Structure 1
Amino acid sequence: MNKISAIVKYNSKPAGILSKEDGIYRFTYNETYLREAGNRPISITMPLRKEPYQTETLFPVFINMLSEGANKKNQSRMLKIDENDHFSFLLATAKFDSIGPLTIERINEPA
């Protein structure tokens, strides 16, 4: 499977990299973000640290950025994305118009 990566920004500042490869999600804070005083974690459940976070399901902080119900169904139809493909939904919908300080920008755009 191909690796898909995205920059996670906190108030427009690059905070780290979110990736998916072989069904595993990883989030790693940017070293510069870690060094700069006053930067906040992207989530209370993901405190600032050098070691990557890893899981088999998309991290709750990112799931919570997704629409639900009728909005999700409409987006699925309009974007032609499976309703259960949370990572693709995140990449397609969280680049500009998101609630809160986080935005997600895909790094390796599909050909």
Structure 2
Amino acid sequence: MHGKRVGHLERHGNRVLFQYDSNYLEFGKPLSLSLPLRSEPFESEGLPAYFSGLCSEGWLRRIQAFEQRIDPSDEFTLLINNGRDLAGAVTIEPTD
């Protein structure tokens, strides 16, 4: 967010984990009320609502999914593939 690493998002099967970066915890603000600052990871089935809300919808989602040859309901992959072009200050970047 604004060029600072906020945390790490990863998928294990249908479970998604988000954990704030330890450096961000010192001075950062929560991404949302549903993701308060804490050192323990958040675990959910599918994307947490905050991240799901960053995904494209409607015709744009269908076009992105078609061009990227992925299922339009695969929000995690949509977010990773398109995370550098999101509305607002947040970007999602894949790690190596």
Tell me whether the two structures share a fold, i.e. TM-score over 0.5.
yes
Runs of 4+ in structure 1 deviating by more than 4 angstroms, as ranges, are: none
**Which segments of 5 or more consecutive residues in structure 2 lack a partner in the other structure?**
none
Any conservation in 1 of the 2:79–2:92 contact (CA below 8 Å)? yes
Higher helix share: 2
RMSD of aligned Cα (Å): 1.1
Higher strand share: 1
Partner of residue 26 from structure 1, selected from 17, 31, 36: 17
**Which segments of 5 or more consecutive residues in structure 1 lack a partner in the other structure?**
1-9
Aligned to 2:60: 71
Q: State the structure with bigger RCO (CA 8 A, min sep 6), 1 or 2.
A: 1
In structure 1, what is the Cα distance between the partners aligned to 2:52 and 2:13?
19
Q: Which runs of structure 2 are paired with 1:1-111 in the superposition (5 Å)?
A: 10-35=1-26, 37=27, 39-95=28-84, 97-108=85-96
Normalising by structure 1, what TM-score?
Answer: 0.80
Any conservation in 2 of the 1:42–1:102 contact (CA below 8 Å)? no
Normalising by structure 2, what TM-score?
Answer: 0.92
